[in-house]
Chain A
Amino acid sequence: MEFPVYQVPFAGNGLIIGLNAVLHVLISHGLAVGGFAMVLLALGADQLTFRTRSLEWTALASRLLKFVVITTTVLGAVTGAGIWLTITALAPRGAASMLRVFFWPWFIEWAAFLLEVVVILRFYLAWIGNHPRRRRILRVTATIYGVTVFASAFLITGILGFMLTPGGWPENRNWLDGFFNPSFPPQLLARLALAMTLGSLVAIGFTLWPRRSQEFQNQAVALFAAVLGTSLLVFIVAAGWYFSVVPLAYSVRSVFSVLTSRLASWPALFYGGNLLALLLLVLLVVAGRLRRPTLVRALAIPALLAFIAVVGQFERIREFIRGPFLMPGYMYVSGPLLEERPFFARHAALPHQPWYPAPPADARSVTTAGAFLFAQNCTGCHTVGGLNSITDRLRGRSEDGIYVLLGRTHEMVSFMPPLATNTLERRMVARFLYELTAGRLQPRWRARLLFEPASATPAGGAP
């Protein structure tokens, strides 16, 4: 690959990228879209339906708006930029390649993002300020905001959808074909519904705390519960539609992607857990509509947490089941290109790695070369001694066994990419992994996958 490998020790790269991204999804969907929509709903509901012009609606909208603005402009904006910060450092080849294909949607999305932040700040400053044309500014900025938010969602969803269902892109390399892909419409709908679901859950929380008059609280919760019920239903339908569009070869991995090897022996956890989450959410809708304040109070936080878990799973499944590919038909999730595998099998991988220093020809250089190729091929997912550690997977295997398994990774496990090397290099990787698993190597610089032979005498041993 064109860049050196850096792997976050213990946690691994995927977890770091994922944590930042899920936090960003929760804020961008739940607050920037859903939360802001609930602010508008609170204002509109007061004026259109209840006609009370009560201070309580305004107070609720104010508190929610302040939270939305501060959280989105700090956490939302930073984690949004953070997606680029994490992927450029941890998956530079993938990040650069995705950007070269989808430069224009991303660049236009940046303009939309910029406009979003400008108008939400204008809205907020007009809200807290005392401008003579305050109402007009609020109306105009809210409208522009709605348009830009939709544009953002539209542009990003096309790119995300491509990564699982690339449309005709693998054949014709036309980015518009990849952008308007089969899972694009259901995913866009699912994301908008997800945003409203999260937003209404947050709004219910803001209605309950701090305590407000019982009558207002019941009225407001009932309104947000109606939004919650509707958007949850749309989300479930859209998610079902989404998974029906995804090819079976990918969707069959969904349950595993949530449970991972650690919990794969208990698939019931997945079904039971999500059923429980659904139950909590439905109960909250019913309690809110029936105006049962005690029940609503008891359910609000668990239901919010349950839905956050659902959102986390949705993103995890989507990112995981695309399996061996980062860019379908072009690049494996680990970095090598699909074309590079047969090319390296014939011409060797190491001579085509600009960052590989030609090592001296001694026994140590075999494990150094093995470690380098392991870093290039495997560290997108596997750590050494941390989460999803390769040594846990290979403990007890013989060296020839490791060699054979390395040649079959992509067949044994449908979501694993193949090792892109020739057979001699595969022997080097096998030697490295065997020595590593046997405890005969110790990290010199874990993040760069540099290892050296473990010292013969244990540290602190007798002289």
Chain B
Amino acid sequence: MMNLRDIPLHEPLPALWSHGLLVFSFILHFVFVLLTLGTAILGVFYFIAGQFGRSASATADLDRPIMGRFFVHKSMAIVLAVGPLLLMLASRTVPFLSSVNLLAPLWMSLIVLLIVALLLLELLAERRDAWPRYRVLAAALAGLAALLAVPATFSAVLTLAERSGSWRDVLAAGGRLPRQVALQWLFRLLHVLLASVVFTAGFLYLSPWAQGDHLAGFRRSLRRWMFVGLLVQFVVGLALYAHLPAHPTLLPNAVLMIGIAASVAIAFALLATPESRRPLAPIALLGLLMLVLVPMLLTRQLLQDRAMLPVKRAAAERADEYRSLLAPYRPAAAAAFAAVTHVPYDNPATLYFRSCQFCHGTVGNGAGDDAPQLRVPPEDLPNLRLSRPEFRRILLAGVPGTAMPTFGYYLENERQGIMDFVYGLGMKPTMDPPARAPDPAALKAAQAVWTQTCSVCHGLDGRGAKLSAGFSPPPPDLTRLSVSTNRAAALIAAGYPGTMMPAFSDLPADTRAALVALIQRLYQPEP
């Protein structure tokens, strides 16, 4: 068994309560599950017998009242499922939810399967006389197949929930059940399907509607369903018993025996009292059916408890330990909650201080708390020369090869507000006026350096060369993005850390100054 842990919240109701409510609500749910499956199987069977069978006239139209019952039973079965589901979730949290999660796609497909099944089977009632019989048959069979997939899924989830030893294997195997678990699941499913036929045949046999003399043939047919169903059930039950993960203890075995004895009694009664001579006494049959159903479900519950409760208890103990580990951090959690609730992101300053400051710093000079973590230092914003459209483009796309992310999640007005705020920090859309005209000789030398060296990466026009397109980060398009005079001089002298831009401190100072002038002339901001 794995060292699993329950969630760190207490169970909402005492164990005895949840256990009692679970048993009660599950039996209620399961009765309607049996009736839903049984009426669907028998309804489709009698539709086929009536439409295509040899003695069609004897069984004609029997599917109609059966499907009428299906209409009610299926709604009840679905609604009643929620109660036991809530109780399983609240009180058998780790075994149940682990299994649900391991079989997640199957579990969620129940929604589609149920909708498809119920709508297609609804057609058997609605379009039965309007459509050609083969089309109705196709819809009914497809609906029945989808419907039978529902108990198949539920029994898979419950079988796996009782097999905590195989959870790791199931996860590793991509959701496939190991052979032993798969066999237990298969016999469990067959057991449920056979039970549905036996019980529904029994209930139909007892229903007032089936009592007329003209339906004697139908009653005989229902008795056959019950009898054959019970016989096969003995075999399937035996196979299921053989595939249980552990040998049941005395109590479940004893309860099981009551159910088996009642089943034998029903089978015997069916043999001993042929319909033509003496029909089965309704009270006796109903009593025996209940004497089968309740012990069988109790056995199931006892086996489930034996598998799940130890897992649950161990997980609960670990949850208690975990809760005490977390307890000292509750004040910190309360502070984190208050921080979110009390800070509305409804103004540019808040947006800047929350989204930009940790890199660019309070005054935008790139000295934020996280700046030392970054290989490419955050931009010194007041020294940046950036037009509004280009600024917006960077906010939307980020800067490749750096930490600068996309801010596509701002509404347009928020983005404009942030831009105003950053311009307020000193960033300018236009280039600074040149301090003084550079010396012509220096300008010529600078031109040569630009052509021979700088343009290898920046391109002759300053828009970037082919060679540097794959750099991380690539050089900026100097016609769209530039920097102030001082900053440009510093970058040329010292290089740009974390990028391919080297230091050119070996160049004469006047050449560097002329290079700055040259670069700044490239800047052509969009209006």
Q: Could you jot down 7 A-B contacts, CB within 8 Å?
A: A85-B111, A100-B11, A100-B12, A113-B82, A117-B75, A249-B344, A354-B2
A90 part of interface (Cβ distance < 8 Å): yes
B89 touches A96 (CB 8 A): yes
Hey, which chain A residues are within 8 Å of B332, CB to CB?
Answer: 338-339, 341-342
Which of A2, A170, A248, A347 is close to B4, meaning CB atoms less than 8 Å apart? A2
Q: Kindly state the separation between the CA atoms of A96 and B8 in the bound complex, as whole angstroms.
A: 10
Contact A74 to B115, CB < 8 A, known contacts A92-B100, A99-B90, A114-B80: yes
A-B contact count (CB 8 A): 262
A264 surroundings in chain B (CB, below 8 A): 408-412
User: Contact at A248–B344, with CB atoms within 8 Å?
Assistant: yes
* Bound-state Cα–Cα, A403 to B497, Å: 18
Any chain B CB within 8 A of the CB of A75? Answer: yes
Determine the chain A residues whose CB is within 8 A of the CB of B400 once the complex forms: 396
- Encode A84-97 as 1/0 by CB contact (under 8 A) with B: 11101110110111
Choice from A75, A329, A339, A448 contacting B115 with Cβ under 8 Å: A75
Decide: A249 near B4, CB < 8 A? Known: A4-B102, A256-B409: no
The CA-CA distance from A106 to B83 in the complex, in Å, is 9
Q: Is the CB–CB distance between A339 and B330 below 8 Å?
A: yes
A90 touches B104 (CB 8 A): yes
Stretch at the interface among B220-228, B354-362, B483-491: B354-362
Cα distance A2–B343 when bound, in Å?
Answer: 32
Tell yes or no: A101 within 8 A of B by CB. yes
- Beta-carbon contact of B100 and A88 below 8 Å: yes
Chain B residues lying within 8 Å of A18, measured Cβ to Cβ, are none
Interface flag for A77 (CB, 8 Å): yes
- What CA separation (Å) do A414 and B353 show in the bound complex? 12
B82 touches A110 (CB 8 A): yes
Residue numbers in A under 8 Å from B402 (CB-CB): 397-398, 401
Q: How far is the CA of A333 from the CA of B411 in the complex (A)?
A: 22
A125 to B73, CA, bound (A): 13
Q: A100-B7, A110-B83, A267-B412 are in contact. Are A343 and B325 (CB under 8 A)?
A: yes
Query: Is B7 within 8 A of A96, CB to CB?
Result: yes
Query: Within 8 Å CB of A403, what residues of B?
Result: 373
Residue of B nearest to A86 (CB): B108
Q: At the interface with chain B, which of A54-62, A154-162, A224-232, A405-413?
A: A405-413
In contact, A354 and B108 (Cβ under 8 angstroms): no
Residues of chain B lying within 8 A (CB to CB) of residue A380: none
Interface residues of B in 1-38 (CB under 8 A from A): 2-13
Residues of the A chain whose Cβ atoms lie less than 8 Å from the Cβ of B209? none
Chain A residues in 8 Å Cβ range of B293? none
Q: Which residues of B contact A113 (CB under 8 A)?
A: 79, 82
B472 within 8 A of A: yes
A266: interface (CB < 8 Å): yes
Q: How far is B340's CA from A293's CA once the two chains are assembled, in angstroms?
A: 52
A212 at the binding interface (Cβ < 8 Å):
no
Q: Which residue of B lies closest to A17 (CB)?
A: B108
User: What's the dominant secondary structure at chain B's contact region?
Assistant: helix
CB–CB B370/A103 < 8 A = no
A82 to B2, CA, bound (A): 29
Q: How far does the alpha carbon of A134 sit from the alpha carbon of B100 in the complex, in Å?
A: 45
User: When the two chains form the complex, which single residue of B330, B396, B399, B412 contacts A396, counting CB atoms closer than 8 Å?
Assistant: B399
B301 close to chain A: CB less than 8 A: no
1/0 per position for A164-177, CB-CB distance to B under 8 A? 00000011000000
Task: Decide if B405 touches A405 in the complex (CB within 8 Å).
Answer: yes
Is the Cβ of A20 less than 8 Å from the Cβ of B105? no
Q: What is the chain B residue whose CB lies nearest that of A259?
A: B411
What residues of chain B lie closer than 8 Å to A328, measured between beta carbons?
A: 337, 341
Q: Assess A3 versus B97: contact at CB under 8 Å? Given A20-B111, A405-B405, A407-B370.
A: yes
Once the chains bind, are B409 and A249 in contact (CB under 8 Å)? no
Taking a contact as CB atoms under 8 Å apart, the answer to whether B86 and A78 are in contact is no
Task: Find out whether the CB atom of B472 lies under 8 angstroms from the CB atom of A408.
Answer: no
* Most chain A CB inside 10 Å of its own CB: which residue of B3, B6, B409: B409
- Note all chain B residues with C-beta closer than 8 A to A216: none
Closest B residue to A6 by CB, please name it.
Answer: B104
The 5 closest A-B pairs by CB, nearest first: A401-B403, A338-B333, A103-B12, A396-B400, A89-B104
Given contacts A398-B376, A414-B345, contact A445 B174 (CB under 8 A): yes
A99 engages B413 (CB within 8 Å)? no
| Docked complex Cα distance between A78 and B346 (Å) | 41
- Judging by beta carbons under 8 Å apart, are A354 and B375 in contact? no
CB contacts (< 8 Å) of A125 on chain B: these are 72
* A404-B89 contact given A2-B7, A397-B398, A445-B174, CB 8 Å threshold: no
A77 to B80, CA, bound (A): 10
Q: Which residues of the other chain, B, contact A90 by a CB distance below 8 angstroms?
A: 104, 108
Note all chain A residues with C-beta closer than 8 A to B330.
339
Hey, which chain A residues are within 8 Å of B86, CB to CB? 84, 99, 103, 106-107, 110
A255 & B329 in contact (Cβ 8 Å cutoff): no
**B residues in contact with A397, CB < 8 Å:** 398, 402-403, 405
Q: Is B334 interfacial (CB-CB < 8 Å)?
A: yes
Q: Are A401 and B345 in contact (CB under 8 A)?
A: no
Closest-by-CB residue of A relative to B397 is A396
Which residues of chain A are within 8 angstroms of B48 by Cβ–Cβ distance?
none
CA distance A80 to B375 in the complex (A): 52
Apart from A89-B105, A249-B345, A265-B412, list 13 A-B contacts with CB within 8 A. A74-B75, A74-B118, A77-B78, A80-B82, A89-B100, A96-B89, A99-B89, A100-B11, A107-B83, A117-B76, A265-B411, A342-B329, A445-B174
Contact assessment for A88 and B107 in the assembled complex, using a CB-CB cutoff below 8 Å: yes
* Chain B proximity of A102: nearest CB distance (Å): 8
Q: Contact mask B244-273 → A, CB, 8 Å, 1/0?
A: 000000000000000000000000000000
Residues of B with C-beta under 8 A to A364: none
What CA separation (Å) do A414 and B405 show in the bound complex?
16
> Contact string, A316-350, partner B, CB cutoff 8 A, digits 1/0?
00000001110011100000011111110001000
Residue of B107, B326, B343, B354 near A343 (CB, 8 A) is: B326
Which one of B75, B410, B473 lies within 8 Å of A73 (CB-CB)?
A: B75
**B299 partner residues in chain A, CB cutoff 8 A:** none
Q: Does A70 contact B (CB under 8 A)?
A: yes
In Å, the complex CA distance between A186 and B326 comes to: 36
Quote the shortest CB–CB distance from A410 to chain B (angstroms).
8
Partner of B322, one of A106, A256, A352, A401: A352
- A247 CB-CB contact with B under 8 Å: yes
- The verdict on A77 contacting B75 (CB below 8 Å), with A2-B94, A88-B89, A110-B86 known, is yes
Residues in B with CB closer than 8 Å to A85 are: 107-108, 110-111
Does B215 make an interface contact (CB < 8 A)?
A: no
Q: Are A404 and B333 in contact (CB under 8 A)?
A: no
A81 interfacial contact with B, CB 8 Å: yes
* CB of B369, distance to nearest CB on chain A (Å): 9
**Docked-complex contact B82 and A408, CB < 8 angstroms:** no
A96 and B93 contact, CB distance less than 8 A: yes
Q: Which residues of B contact A253 (CB under 8 A)?
A: 345
Residues of A within 8 A of B375 (CB): 398, 400
Q: What is the chain A residue whose CB lies nearest that of B121?
A: A74
Residues of B within 8 A of A100 (CB): 7, 9-12, 90
Let me know if B374 is at the binding interface, CB within 8 A.
Answer: yes
**A253 CA / B414 CA spacing, docked (Å):** 11
Tell me the smallest distance from the CB of B349 to a CB of chain A, in Å.
Answer: 14
Which residues of chain B in 66-110 are interfacial with respect to chain A, using CB atoms and an 8 Å cutoff? 71-72, 74-76, 78-83, 85-86, 89-90, 93-94, 97-98, 100-102, 104-105, 107-108, 110
B61 within 8 A of partner (CB): no
Q: Identify which of residues 300-336 in chain B touch chain A, using a CB-to-CB cut-off of 8 Å.
A: 315, 318, 322, 325-327, 329-330, 332-334, 336
